[in-house]
Amino acid sequence: MESPAARFPHTGILAAAREWLGKGRGRWLGMAVAVIFTAAILLPDPGPLPPLRVWAFDSYQARFPRTRVLDPAVIVAVDDQSLRRIGQWPWSRDVLARLIDRIAERQPAAIAVDMLFTEPDRSSPDRLAEYLSSRDRALAKRLSELRPNDDILAESLTRARAVIGIAGVEASIAKGSPSAPSAVTGPPAPLARYAGALRSLPKLDHAAAGHGLLNADPEHGIVRRIPLAAYLGEQPVLTLALESFRVAAGLPSFTLNWDTAGMRSVQVGDLEVPSQPNGRAWIHFSPHDPRRYVSAADVLEGKDDPRRIKQSIVLVGVTALALLDQNTTARGERMPGIEIHAQLVENIVENGLLSRPAWARYVEALVFVLAAGLLIVVVPRTRSRVSFSVLAGCWVLLITAGVAAYAFTRTLFDPTTPIAGMTLLFGLMLSATLVASDRHRRQLSAHLAAEREAAARVTGELEAAQRIQTGMLPKRESVLRNERRIEIFAHMKAAREVGGDLYDFFPLPGDRFVVIVGDVSDKGLPAAMFMAVSKALVRSCALRTPVDAAALMTMFNSEISRENPEQLFVTLFALIADLRTGEVEYCNAGHEPPILVRRSGETLILDDGGGPPLCVVDDYPYEAGRVALEPRDMLTLASDGITEAMNRTGALYGRARLKALVELPSRRDVDVTILGSEILAAIKTFEAGAEPSDDQTLLLFSWRGSG
We report the CATH number of the domain holding residue 580 as 3.60.40.10
193 and 171 fall within a common domain: yes
276 and 389 fall within a common domain: no
548 and 607 fall within a common domain: yes
Domain range for 261: 73-122+154-350
Residue 667 covered by a domain: yes
Categorize the per-residue pLDDT at 187 as very low, low, confident or very high, splitting at 50, 70 and 90.
Answer: low
Categorize the per-residue pLDDT at 266 as very low, low, confident or very high, splitting at 50, 70 and 90.
Answer: very high
Gap between the Cα atoms of 612 and 610, Å rounded: 7
Overall pTM surpassing 0.85 (yes/no): no
Domain count, the chain: 3
Residue 448 covered by a domain: no
The pLDDT tens digits of the residues spanning 594-611 come to 999 988 888 899 988 888
436 and 346 fall within a common domain: no
- Of 85-99, 183-197, 208-222, 479-493, the least confident: 183-197
Backbone dihedral angles phi then psi of residue 161, each to the nearest 5 degrees? 45, 55
Tell me, rounded to whole angstroms, the distance of Cα 213 from its chain centroid. 50
Categorize the per-residue pLDDT at 58 as very low, low, confident or very high, splitting at 50, 70 and 90.
Answer: very high
Strands 163-169 and 210-213: parallel
Residue 312 covered by a domain: yes
With contact defined as beta carbons under 8 Å apart, do 425 and 368 qualify?
no
E strand intervals along 511-602: 512-520, 570-578, 583-589, 595-597
116 and 18 fall within a common domain: no
387 and 534 fall within a common domain: no
Per-residue pLDDT at 4: 45
Closest-CA residue to 292 (of 112, 114, 108, 77): 77
Categorize the per-residue pLDDT at 8 as very low, low, confident or very high, splitting at 50, 70 and 90.
Answer: very low
Ordered alpha helix ranges (H), 133-196: 137-144, 149-160
Alpha-carbon distances of 336 from 83, 230, 284, 293, 552, rounded to whole Å = 17, 22, 16, 11, 120
The pLDDT tens digits of the residues spanning 287-342 come to 999 999 999 999 999 999 999 999 999 999 998 866 567 889 999 999 998 999 99
Per-residue pLDDT at 7: 46
- How is residue 89 annotated by DSSP? S
Return the SS3 of 62: helix
105 and 238 fall within a common domain: yes
Alpha-carbon distances of 568 from 520, 562, 579, 639, rounded to whole Å = 7, 12, 34, 17
104 and 252 fall within a common domain: yes
Rank 30-39, 440-449, 562-571 by mean pLDDT and report only the highest.
30-39
The type of residue at 78 is V
Dihedral sign for Cα 648, 651, 657, 659, please: positive
184 and 269 fall within a common domain: yes
Q: Measured between alpha carbons, how far apart are the two ends of the chain, in Å?
A: 83
Residue 149 covered by a domain: no
Residue 140 covered by a domain: no
Closest-CA residue to 620 (of 542, 550, 563): 550
12 and 105 fall within a common domain: no
Return the SS3 of 691: coil
186 and 297 fall within a common domain: yes
184 and 293 fall within a common domain: yes
Last residue of a domain, one of 304, 319, 350: 350
Strands 280-282 and 225-227: antiparallel
With contact defined as beta carbons under 8 Å apart, do 573 and 516 qualify?
yes
Alpha-carbon distances of 316 from 218, 311, 323, 578, 601, rounded to whole Å = 21, 15, 14, 137, 129
Closest-CA residue to 202 (of 181, 230, 180, 175): 175
Q: For residue 167, what is the enclosing H or E element?
A: strand 163-169
Per-residue pLDDT at 2: 47
